[in-house]
Structures are given as C-alpha cells and as structure tokens.
Amino acid sequence: PHVAIDRLGNFAVSWTMTSDPNYYVPNTLFVSAEVKVFDANRNVLFDENELPFAGGGAGDTSVAFDSNSNLAMAWEELADSDHIGTGTTGIYACEWEIFQRDAQNNIVTTAAGAPVLSGAVLREKFRVNSASMDITTQTEWPGGQWYPQIAMDADGDLTVTYQGYGPDVSVNAYI
C-alpha cells in the first residue's frame, strides 16, 4: 500500500488487489489497482472503484496530492504490449480533481459548509514509460518496467520514477 496526505489533512491509500489474498508474487496475479480517499476525520470521500480509470491487470500503485487536493496515481500494468509485440509491464498514471472549485480556485461548499466532491478526471490514463520525447508518439521501451513512485508539486507537475529496462537494456532506475 501507499499513502499520500494533502495540506488539508485529507489522505489517500492505494493498494493492489490480487486474485489470491494469501499469496503475492511481484508482477503476477494482479486483478486491480485500488485507491480510497478520506477526509481529515477519516470519513470516506471516495471508496475504491469510485474514481474512474482504466487499469485492468494493474498493481504496485503510488499516489500523490498537489496543493489543490488533486490526486494522482501511478501503477504498473500487465499484459502490455511493447514495440515488438511481446508482453511486458508498463507504467501508467492519471489524475483526478477531488473537490469542485469555483472560478477563483476556492473549494465549492454546500449550504452546510461541507466541500462538494468532484471526482472528475483531470488527466486521462497515460503511459509514463515512453522512449520518445515526441508527445505525438507512444514509442515504448522493450521489457518490463516496475515499482512506480509518483510525486506531485504544488501546482500539479508530476514526476514518476520506476525500475525497468531502457534502451541500453540495463536494470537501473529511470526518470
């Protein structure tokens, strides 16, 4: 599991749901990546499967918040296809808006003062481990990539690190 806390005390927990809860082998048996979001008083804001993303066969999650309480998650996804059509593990991420915001970027509240939840997708699922800096292509590295760690700065810029094979076929960590 991985935990992230925002500046308001809200927190998110992400984990991997496996096909057998008593048996875990890295990079196998993934069913889904899960994330649950709580407020500072431990009340559930979003239960697992309430934040939309396409992450079937996903696992090894990592989460992060920005200063607006937007949540990003990175994960590895199995049954991915590399550039030569063989199976591999790729790194993906997406981002959600947790609270609705007005034109001045303030959290919208109800008449009772409770924040209005959003859950809107800010960044659709995208592949992190691309071998190309050309955003119009999805050149993919051969072999598997694993164990993503995501970080997000105050204004939402993402950094994701992971372990895997790069063009030089090493097993070092790449950014």
Q: With beta carbons less than 8 A apart as the criterion, state whether 128 and 91 touch.
A: yes
pTM assigned to the model: 0.80
Q: What is the pLDDT of residues 5-64, one digit of tens each?
A: 999 999 999 988 776 555 455 555 556 788 999 999 999 999 887 776 655 567 788 999
The share of the chain scoring above pLDDT 90, in percent, equals 46
Amino acid identity at 133: M
Q: What is the distance between the alpha carbons of residues 140 and 27, in angstroms, rounded to a whole number? A: 19
Residues linked to residue 150 through DSSP beta bridges, in sequence order: 160
Residue that has been written with the tokens 């094979």 in this structure: 165
Q: With beta carbons less than 8 A apart as the criterion, state whether 66 and 92 touch.
A: no
Q: What is the pLDDT of residues 58-111, one digit of tens each?
A: 778 899 999 999 999 998 887 555 555 556 678 889 999 999 999 999 999 999
Q: What is the distance between the alpha carbons of residues 146 and 161, in angstroms, rounded to a whole number? A: 9
- Residue 35's SS3 state is strand
